[in-house]
């Protein structure tokens, strides 16, 4: 009897472990396809879009946004069709077999896919028909019609771009993701949300004082952030973006900072100083139960969940200066991850699980971005220059990061590829934009 009862338990454990293993390696495999060092980007050509009584430049603008999205995706390269002499007859209504020479020309030049579109007006709306053809066979792979107000032109291009990414990688694209951040506005620092390419900033709070470090919920409906509503007490609040509805999650005595929601959305990890110095806690948002995870005389802060939700990475100065540590989600198994340099802080775990980004102090004494693998085996610095870099946050596809960088007191938000290439400034105007957080896809 005794043995019988043990067998199912063991079987369950083995099956459970196996299941988890499959889930994880499955996700990792998809990732490897497009992130291996030898991954060849897919050359795609964007033909001149046809304008059918559309507002001036609308067809050109939508094609330009699309090209920028495709380039940024890190999946595609955008071929210069003009240089290749590939041009579509502007009288055409639809590309088809009759244009085979065009496709042959594209294929001969290594262009794997051709994108063509028509922009028209219907009532007060724009109508975009987007087509994607296989460069070699001329097979029509994607045909989509988008209808929306003229102000949605960029969204239409983003949708078509995501359609291409999804078609070629099986992953959701990032062109319609958003970035939450804090920005100085009329004497206060407020929470804002903008498109992933820096367009369409939208103000979320109007508290008039100090709001910091917004972080997304997994369902992308809400942000959690630190709010100084009365200048003395900091609370951690949650705001629902679509309605503006807001509630306070944490109002303990002392500093309540650096919130991070678990991948399943249930637990909020944060730092509070209610015990005298900054310690990391989790809040079960269903039961309102608090669990203290760290017990140190030093400062523990900036917890960030692993993609599995089983571990947390955080900053602690228990060894003197700030360093990055790992622990299990229940506070056990604490180990130090960074040993190089005397200042490592603000960790963010890639949604792929393979890297942790953080702020490091370079040999020149500058605060820059570094990456380290969770096993500590590989470490690299990905930004250089004089800016004070802060608050790295990963794109949901794990290929990019956003961060803030301050030069001469002006803080702006930048996007950069994971390998440190193609740094792009996203914010314009204003003088202080900080703590960016990239939404899930």
Residues 419-438 binding another protein (CB under 8 A) are: 434-435
Residue closer to another protein by CB (options 243, 288) is: 243
What token pair was written down for 303?
A: 């917890």
Residue closer to another protein by CB (options 299, 398) is: 299
Q: Identify which range of 42-50, 77-85, 226-234, 331-339 contacts another protein by CB under 8 A.
A: 226-234
- Distance separating alpha carbons of residues 97 and 314, to the nearest angstrom: 58
Tallying the residues shown for the chain, one arrives at 441
| Min dist. Cβ of residue 255 to another protein (A) | 5
Residue closer to another protein by CB (options 209, 311) is: 209
Q: If binding is defined by CB under 8 A, does position 350 make contact with another protein?
A: no
Q: Identify which range of 31-39, 43-51, 74-82, 184-192 contacts another protein by CB under 8 A.
A: 184-192
DSSP string, 253-311: SS-EEEEEE-TTS-EEEEEE-TTSS-EEEEEETTTTEEEE----SS-EEEEEE-TTSSE
The sign of the torsion formed by the CA atoms of 409, 413, 416, 422 equals: negative
Phi, psi of 68 (to 5 degrees): -60, -40
Q: If binding is defined by CB under 8 A, does position 205 make contact with another protein?
A: yes
| Min dist. Cβ of residue 108 to another protein (A) | 26
What token pair was written down for 82?
A: 């003009």
Contact 226, 238 (CB under 8 A): no
Distance of CA 416 to the CA centre of its chain: 11
| Min dist. Cβ of residue 125 to another protein (A) | 9
Q: How many residues bind another protein (CB under 8 A)?
A: 85
Q: If binding is defined by CB under 8 A, does position 210 make contact with another protein?
A: yes
Q: Identify which range of 23-31, 275-283, 332-340, 412-420 contacts another protein by CB under 8 A.
A: 275-283
For residue 322, count other CB atoms closer than 10 A to its CB: 23
| Min dist. Cβ of residue 293 to another protein (A) | 16
Q: If binding is defined by CB under 8 A, does position 309 make contact with another protein?
A: no
Q: If binding is defined by CB under 8 A, does position 408 make contact with another protein?
A: yes
What token pair was written down for 47?
A: 């033909």
Q: If binding is defined by CB under 8 A, does position 385 make contact with another protein?
A: no
**Region 91-150 residues binding another protein, contact defined as CB under 8 A:** 129, 131, 140, 142-149
- Distance separating alpha carbons of residues 134 and 44, to the nearest angstrom: 9
Q: To which residue do tokens 């609308």 refer?
A: 58
- Distance separating alpha carbons of residues 202 and 356, to the nearest angstrom: 29
Phi, psi of 194 (to 5 degrees): -130, 165
Q: If binding is defined by CB under 8 A, does position 204 make contact with another protein?
A: yes
Among the listed residues 273, 373, 384, 423, the single contact to another protein using CB under 8 A: 273
- Distance separating alpha carbons of residues 10 and 357, to the nearest angstrom: 37
Q: If binding is defined by CB under 8 A, does position 238 make contact with another protein?
A: no
Residue closer to another protein by CB (options 174, 283) is: 174
Among the listed residues 151, 287, 332, 363, the single contact to another protein using CB under 8 A: 151
Rg for the chain (alpha carbons), in Å? 24
Residue closer to another protein by CB (options 109, 134) is: 134
- Distance separating alpha carbons of residues 260 and 225, to the nearest angstrom: 9
Q: For residue 321, how many C-alpha atoms fall within 13 Å in the half-sphere facing its CB?
A: 10
Residue closer to another protein by CB (options 213, 427) is: 213
Q: To which residue do tokens 């219907």 refer?
A: 122
Among the listed residues 43, 88, 136, 172, the single contact to another protein using CB under 8 A: 172
Q: If binding is defined by CB under 8 A, does position 189 make contact with another protein?
A: yes
Each residue 43-82 as x (binds another protein by CB under 8 A) or -, in order, gives ----------------------------------------
Q: If binding is defined by CB under 8 A, does position 331 make contact with another protein?
A: no
Each residue 5-34 as x (binds another protein by CB under 8 A) or -, in order, gives ------------------------------
| Min dist. Cβ of residue 378 to another protein (A) | 22
**Region 277-306 residues binding another protein, contact defined as CB under 8 A:** 277-278, 299, 301-302
Q: If binding is defined by CB under 8 A, does position 249 make contact with another protein?
A: no
| Min dist. Cβ of residue 223 to another protein (A) | 10
Q: Which stretch of DSSP H or E encloses residue 84?
A: helix 81-84
- Distance separating alpha carbons of residues 350 and 373, to the nearest angstrom: 10
How far from 127 is each of 47, 131, 150, 337, 345, CA to CA, in Å?
18, 13, 9, 52, 47
Among the listed residues 105, 282, 405, 439, the single contact to another protein using CB under 8 A: 439
- Distance separating alpha carbons of residues 226 and 248, to the nearest angstrom: 10
């Amino acid at each position: 009897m005794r043995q019988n009862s043990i067998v199912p338990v063991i079987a369950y454990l083995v099956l459970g472990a196996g299941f988890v293993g499959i889930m994880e390696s499955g996700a990792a495999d998809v990732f490897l396809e497009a992130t291996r060092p030898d991954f060849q980007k897919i050359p795609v050509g964007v033909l001149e879009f046809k304008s059918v009584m559309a507002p001036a430049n609308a067809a050109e603008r939508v094609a330009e946004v699309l090209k920028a999205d495709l380039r940024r995706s890190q999946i595609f390269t955008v071929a210069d069709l003009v240089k290749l002499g590939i041009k579509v007859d502007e009288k055409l209504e639809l590309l088809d077999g009759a244009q085979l020479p065009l496709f042959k020309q594209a294929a001969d030049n290594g262009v794997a896919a051709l994108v063509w579109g028509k922009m028209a007006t219907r009532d007060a709306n724009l109508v975009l028909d987007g087509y994607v053809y296989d460069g070699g066979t001329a097979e029509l792979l994607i045909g989509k019609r988008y209808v929306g107000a003229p102000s949605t032109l960029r969204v239409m291009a983003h949708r078509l771009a995501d359609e291409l990414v999804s078609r070629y990688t099986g992953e959701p694209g990032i062109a319609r993701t958003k970035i939450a951040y804090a920005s100085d506005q009329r004497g206060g620092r407020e929470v804002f949300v903008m498109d992933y390419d820096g367009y369409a900033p939208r103000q979320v709070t109007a508290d008039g004082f100090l709001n910091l470090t917004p972080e997304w919920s997994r369902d992308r409906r809400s942000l959690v952030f630190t709010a100084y509503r009365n200048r003395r007490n900091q609370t951690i609040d949650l705001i629902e973006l679509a309605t503006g509805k807001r509630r306070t999650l944490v109002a303990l005595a002392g500093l309540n900072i650096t919130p991070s929601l678990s991948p399943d959305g249930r637990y909020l990890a944060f730092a509070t100083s209610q015990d005298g110095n900054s310690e990391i806690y989790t809040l079960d948002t269903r039961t309102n139960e608090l669990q203290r995870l760290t017990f140190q005389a030093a400062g523990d802060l900036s917890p960030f969940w692993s993609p599995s939700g089983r571990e947390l990475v955080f900053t602690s100065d228990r060894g003197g200066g700030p360093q990055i540590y790992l622990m299990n989600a229940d506070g056990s198994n604490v180990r130090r991850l960074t040993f190089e340099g005397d200042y490592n802080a603000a960790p963010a775990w890639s949604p792929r699980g393979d890297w942790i980004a953080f702020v490091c102090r370079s040999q020149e004494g500058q605060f820059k971005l570094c990456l380290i693998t969770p096993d500590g085996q590989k470490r690299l610095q990905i930004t250089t220059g004089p800016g004070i870099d802060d608050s790295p946050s990963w794109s949901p596809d794990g290929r990019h990061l956003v961060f803030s960088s301050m030069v001469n007191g002006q803080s702006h938000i930048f996007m950069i590829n994971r390998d440190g290439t193609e740094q792009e400034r996203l914010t314009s105007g204003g003088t202080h934009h900080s703590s960016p957080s990239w939404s899930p896809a």
